[in-house]
Each structure stands twice: as C-alpha cells, then as structure tokens.
Amino acid sequence: MKLSDKFILHTTDTETLLVPTGEAEFSGIIRGNETLGYICECLKEDTTREAIIERMKAEFDVLQDIIEGDVDRALKNLRETGALDE
C-alpha cells in the first residue's frame, strides 16, 4: 500500500496535514500529530503495515501495542478517506 498521489502531505512545526488535490473525492483536511506524519512518510513508498510498525519500533522508544494501535488507527482513517492506494 502507498499514499495516494491525490493527496499532498505537509508537515508544519506543530502538525501534519494531508490535503486532497482536486482529483480526490474527499474534500476536507486530515490533521494529525507527528506520529501520523511519520506513518505518512513511510507510506510515500509502497509498504506494509508490518514494515511501518518495524520502522516505528526502531525509531521510537514505545511499546509495540501502542505503535500497532497508532498504525492501525492511522491506516483506518487514511483508508476511509481514500488516501491509500492498495
């Protein structure tokens, strides 16, 4: 799976924004924190849920359950808004 090219990822100092282009059916903004930003960065290239979790485990000193929960929640939201190409 990969982040759809119908969305533009933008990271500011305080938040991560995923903005649809005119081609996306979704009209709104996906706003999130640094974690969402990291997951979206991983999704710039074709990847899997497991690969994202592994990268996050290596990057952040957080329990696996928490990472899995964050990744699943983010992927669910991205999927629902059509921001994932699978």
Partner 1 sequence: MSKLKFEDFIEQSGQLTYSNVGTSMLPLLRQGRDLFTVSKKNAARCRKYDVVLYHGQNDTYILHRIIKVREADYVIRGDNCITKEYGITDDDIIGVMTGFVRDGKSYSTDNTGYRIYSVLWCAFAPVRICFKKMKIRISHLKRSVKMKIKRIIG
Binding site for partner 1 (CB under 8 A): 5-6, 8, 10, 12, 17, 19-23, 28-29
CA–CA dist 50, 7 (Å, integer): 23
The nearest distance, CB 29 to partner 1, in angstroms, is 7
C-beta of 27: minimal distance to partner 1 in Å?
Answer: 8
- Alpha-carbon span 85 to 1, nearest angstrom: 6
How far is it, in rounded angstroms, from Cα 78 to Cα 82?
A: 6
Toward partner 1, which CB reaches closer, 20 or 32? 20
* Residue 15 or 46 having the CB closest to partner 1: 15
Q: How far is the CB of 16 from partner 1 (least distance, A)?
A: 11
Alpha helix (H) ranges present in 1-86? Answer: 34-42, 49-59, 64-80
